[in-house]
Amino acid sequence: MILVDGYEVTELAKKIKEVAITACDDYSQVKVDAAVNRILERAGGLESCIRPGMRVALKPNLVMGKDPAAAVTTHPAIVESVAKAVMDIGAVPFIVDSPGGPSANATGLRMVYKKTGMTSVAERLGIELCHDTTEVEIALTDQSPIRKVALLKVIHEADAIINLPKVKTHAQTGYTGAVKNLYGAIPGMRKAEYHFRVQERKPFGQLLVELNLALRPVLTIMDGVIGMEGDGPTAGEPKPFGYLLASRCPFTLDNYVLSLIRIDDIEMDRVAQARGLIGPFRLVDDGKEIRPVPFRPAAHRRVNFVENYLPAFLARPISRSLRPLPAFLPQKCVRCRICLQSCPADALTMEGIPRLDKEKCIGCLCCQEMCPERAVEVRRSGIGRLLFGSFH
Ligand code: SF4
Ligand code: SF4
């Protein structure tokens, strides 16, 4: 039996009944402040989960140092509004994330915080930007494919976590929103290590769910003003969505957002449903029609039926031979070597541009995710192209 907040998870799913949504079509601070206030009120009020004096970790999605206009990272206007709301009730917010790849040290973090607009937010409000990359190891339950996981100590020890994800499609997991955002609580290169240790989709979904149960964010507020479609989380295209959403339950929130953006077959969502973490919920909205906004899925999602419907002894080799592989574009590559440093399987060498060892590659696409120049294209394997055609 898993207990969260003293409730068995199935009881918790029944207890959590609200997903709040409000329209917000641009990032002007005035509009975002008003939308955040509406959403907080509808989610039961910040006072219901934060007390004065608490140290509150604000965890945006800062996967890499990109300008907010690229729609790769949670917009700073949302982080600013939430930080102000936390300060208004006398608690102490701080901004923290651990980007992937080699940016996860103090110098890299400074660059990421600056480019994503977090430094300006912190300076304007006089709040802390966390550069502490100290790890702590925590135990997960026997439903996790790995029983111990390293987390950023500052996030683990915060009095409360407010999860601030962005709505994006994702080349590896299909979707990143509330649940996947907490994978960012794992220190930088450790993320690649766990990708290497947990290569298949279902166990990786279990790991993501376990992380959320271990970290227990008190609230998730999702940046859906402009999301990302296609080959996210970093190489897709901005997609206007026009909503801000909130819930105390990250699993239910993702499940609802997936229905709005018309993306399905997401393993972390499937795992959460199977474990009774998603129950019926009450939608608290503006009283106007909520329009679905279909997002274009990441290209390689079309072959996922292999793992879902074939027995494991068949699915593994077939899935391996069909797995999408990275291709490195010489005209875009600036030879920064970030992909080499991000690869958990040591499958890349530098020969003018990165060269792939297909035997070693596990298809995790961390190289594509971390490439700052969009110089990594996802391509089907030879057999995949024969069966399904090419992506591009
Ligand atoms: S592919 Fe991207 S990450 Fe790799 S060396 Fe080229 S520019 Fe850098
Ligand atoms: S080269 Fe293969 S194993 Fe390495 S990061 Fe890219 S997809 Fe993952």
pLDDT digits (tens, 9 = 90+) for 3-54: 554 545 555 545 556 899 999 999 999 999 999 999 999 988 999 999 999 9
- The domains found in the chain, sorted by start residue, are 9-284 (3.40.50.11440), 299-388 (3.30.70.20)
- The partner residues of 169 in beta bridges, in order of sequence, read 175
Cβ of residue 356 lying under 6 Å from some atom of ligand 1:
no
**Could you identify the residue written with the tokens 């068995």?**
8
Cβ of residue 336 lying under 6 Å from some atom of ligand 1:
yes
Task: Give the chain's end-to-end CA distance (angstroms, integer).
Answer: 46
363 alpha carbon to ligand 1 midpoint, in Å? 16
- Residues comprising the chain, all counted: 392
Q: Which H, E and C letters describe 199-236, residue by residue?
A: CCHHHHHHHHHHHHHHHCCCEEEEEEEEEEECCCCCCC
- Which numbered atom of ligand 1 lies nearest the CA of 350? 5
Q: Which H, E and C letters describe 28-49, residue by residue?
A: CHHHHHHHHHHHHHHCCCHHHC
- Which numbered atom of ligand 1 lies nearest the CA of 342? 3
| CB 262, CB 229: distance < 8 Å | no
pTM for the whole structure? 0.89
- Which numbered atom of ligand 1 lies nearest the CA of 337? 5
Tens-place pLDDT, residues 182-240:
999 999 889 988 988 998 888 999 999 999 999 999 999 999 999 999 989 999 999 99
Residues 6+ apart with CB under 8 A from 11: none
Q: Ligand nearest 336 Cα, by number?
A: 1
pLDDT of residue 322: 74
